[in-house]
């Protein structure tokens, strides 16, 4: 099978692009002999359960670098504890034991460890708009909740706003209590979620990240996770305004690791988390918008509950609130959030499928196979020689074969893009489309960004870029000729 050549080109480009930032982060100072010596930044490794870096955490990491004047930076350890249904529990223990410096976990996990300080933020149907979530974070309520995690032997660094979680129904939408009767819901098996679904007549079953929906009637997810996990292939009904709860991201550090930092770096970590909140919330909104557009393009139904149906759901959840408000601190926080909610004259956030694309442009690239041929002249016209390909990481034989041309096939399949050369895979990536822009993300540090247009069966690309450097080779491949849809 053909090697993943575009990967190699990307690696070369990314390494070149990273050379300057790393040098800048390292800094330099003069020794007594008048020479320069590099000062390496302190690097803290942060565990992430996901296969990519959540945008909220990217904002935090950027703030850390900026506020520390590049003397401190975050390095992510992705796919921490993959496939583990108790991954968040284990991750907290890993931080406590010093197996990783820091981590982020969902706030929902803490009530399973007898830490109940986040319950008000997660109370069902309470924080149901992003405007309200912004007000709650601006008020400082989540920061006060953070103190509870120290009971577990870790240090709370900060809380970041996360996406609103909704119910994705397999065969029908979940809009009123009767829709829940006898149903099995997949999701995070924390105490508050269990009680919430029990009150509605359903059973919660643990569902690890990306787990199969087989045997489930629904799953509670945020929109980007529905799209990213391809759950739209098995389920078709989102309760658009049945906004269960947000998914706040809690950043923790090991006690020993945190205490080993300078006072300046300790302050930077906490200040960076606070400063990242507005950008993190903005990124969350964008993720929701992008996922909505993608899901609509694949036929997802966004069902809206009436005000009467929402009132019935809230009435069914009264026993849950009675238990929550039995704790004085949780009651005070719920009251504070409820007061903020009265100041926002907006009903529950409800994403919907709308047509906002420019005339003549489809909202998504239709799934299917698209073909295009390249010749040796195409490479030469673009000024790309076999020597350039070798410098980018191909062997001489691979470069000569590539430069000879061939038939290329793009396969778009529900958010997955594969590019073949003469029938052999060379590139695989997940992709997202927003209006006339496509982003194909193959690895954490490599993606191709382009403009696209579709006229009949002819798919064309332009303005090719590879964030971080490079792009010449990708431009030849993607944009030399239109791609013809063949099925």
CATH number of 167-239: 3.40.190
pLDDT band at 47 (very low <50, low <70, confident <90, very high): very high
Query: Considering only 71-80, 197-206, 286-295, 389-398, which range has the smallest mean pLDDT?
Result: 389-398
Domain boundary assignment for the chain: 38-161+244-342, 167-239, 368-485
- Residue 368's region, left for phi above 0, alpha for psi from -120 to 50, else beta, is left
Taking the C-alpha atoms of residue 139 and residue 126, their distance in angstroms, rounded to an integer, is 16
Taking the C-alpha atoms of residue 430 and residue 138, their distance in angstroms, rounded to an integer, is 34
Amino acid 9: pLDDT = 39
Amino acid 37: pLDDT = 52
What is the CATH class of 38-161+244-342? Answer: alpha beta
- Chain centre distance of CA 32: 48
> Minimal CA–CA distance to 75: which of 94, 101, 95, 51?
101
Residues 171-180 pLDDT 10s:
999 999 999 9
- Extract the tokens encoding 45: 């490794």
Contact 464, 446 (CB under 8 A): no
Residues 317-330 pLDDT 10s:
999 999 999 999 99
Amino acid 402: pLDDT = 80
Greater confidence (34 vs 140) lies with 140
Residue 451, pLDDT > 60, answer yes
38-161+244-342 matches 368-485 in fold: no
- What's 85's DSSP letter? T
Q: How many residues does the chain have?
A: 487
pTM: 0.70
Residue 55, pLDDT > 60, answer yes
Residues 8-18 pLDDT 10s:
334 333 333 33
- What's 101's DSSP letter? S
Residue corresponding to tokens 């660094």: 157
Query: Domain 368-485 falls in which CATH fold?
Result: Lipocalin (2.40.128)
- Rounding to the nearest 10 degrees, give the CA dihedral for residues 258, 261, 265, 269: -10
Distance set, CA 92 to CA 46, 89, 307 (Å): 12, 5, 40
Contact 146, 158 (CB under 8 A): yes
pLDDT band at 32 (very low <50, low <70, confident <90, very high): very low
Strand locations in 234-367, DSSP E? 237-239, 245-246, 249-254, 301-303
Residues 80-92 pLDDT 10s:
988 787 889 999 9
Residues 434-450 pLDDT 10s:
777 888 888 767 888 88
Measured from the Cβ of residue 74, the count of other Cβ atoms closer than 10 Å reads 22
The full DSSP string for 433-449 is: EETTEEEEEEETTEEEE
């Amino acid at each position: 099978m053909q090697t993943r050549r575009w990967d190699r080109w990307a690696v070369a480009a990314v390494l070149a692009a990273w050379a300057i930032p790393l040098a800048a982060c390292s800094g330099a100072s003069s020794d007594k002999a008048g020479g320069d010596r590099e000062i390496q930044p302190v690097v803290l490794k942060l565990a992430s359960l996901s296969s990519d870096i959540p945008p909220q955490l990217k904002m935090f990491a950027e703030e850390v670098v900026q506020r520390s004047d590049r003397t401190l930076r975050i390095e992510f350890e992705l796919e921490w504890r993959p496939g583990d249904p108790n991954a968040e529990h284990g991750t907290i223990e890993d931080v406590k034991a010093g197996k990783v410096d820091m981590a982020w976990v969902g706030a929902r996990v803490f009530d399973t460890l007898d830490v109940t300080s986040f319950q008000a933020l997660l109370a069902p149907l309470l924080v149901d708009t992003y405007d309200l979530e912004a007000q709650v974070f601006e008020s400082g309520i989540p920061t006060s909740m953070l103190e509870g995690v120290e009971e577990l032997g870790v240090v709370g660094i900060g809380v970041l706003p996360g996406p609103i979680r909704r119910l994705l129904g397999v065969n029908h939408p979940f809009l009123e209590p009767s829709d829940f009767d006898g149903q099995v819901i997949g999701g995070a098996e924390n105490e508050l979620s269990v009680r919430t679904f029990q009150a509605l007549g359903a059973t919660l079953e643990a569902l690890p990240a990306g787990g199969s929906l087989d045997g489930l009637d629904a799953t509670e997810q945020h929109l980007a996770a529905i799209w990213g996990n391809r759950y739209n292939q098995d389920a078709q009904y989102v309760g658009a305004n049945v906004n269960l709860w947000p998914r706040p991201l809690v950043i923790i550090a090991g006690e020993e690791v945190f205490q080993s930092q300078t006072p300046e770096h300790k302050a930077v970590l906490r200040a960076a988390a606070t400063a990242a909140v507005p950008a993190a919330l903005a990124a969350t909104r964008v993720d929701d918008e992008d996922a909505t557009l993608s899901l609509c393009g694949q036929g997802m139904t966004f069902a809206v509950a009436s005000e009467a149906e929402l009132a019935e759901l809230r009435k069914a959840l009264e026993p849950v609130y009675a238990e929550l408000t039995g704790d004085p601190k949780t009651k005070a926080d719920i009251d504070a959030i409820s007061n903020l909610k009265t100041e926002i004259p907006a009903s529950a956030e409800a994403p919907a499928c709308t047509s906002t694309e420019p005339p003549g442009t489809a909202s998504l690239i239709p799934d299917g196979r698209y073909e295009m041929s390249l010749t040796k002249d195409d490479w030469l016209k673009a000024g790309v020689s076999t020597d350039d390909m070798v410098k980018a990481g191909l062997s001489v034989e691979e470069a000569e074969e590539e430069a000879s041309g061939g038939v290329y096939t793009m396969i778009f399949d529900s958010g997955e893009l594969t590019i073949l050369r003469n029938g052999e895979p060379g590139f695989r990536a997940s992709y997202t489309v927003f209006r006339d822009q496509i982003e194909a993300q193959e690895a954490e540090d490599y993606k191709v960004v382009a403009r696209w247009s579709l006229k009949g069966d002819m798919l064309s690309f332009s303005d090719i870029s590879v964030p971080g450097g490079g792009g010449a080779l990708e431009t030849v491949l993607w944009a030399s000729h239109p791609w013809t849809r063949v099925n």
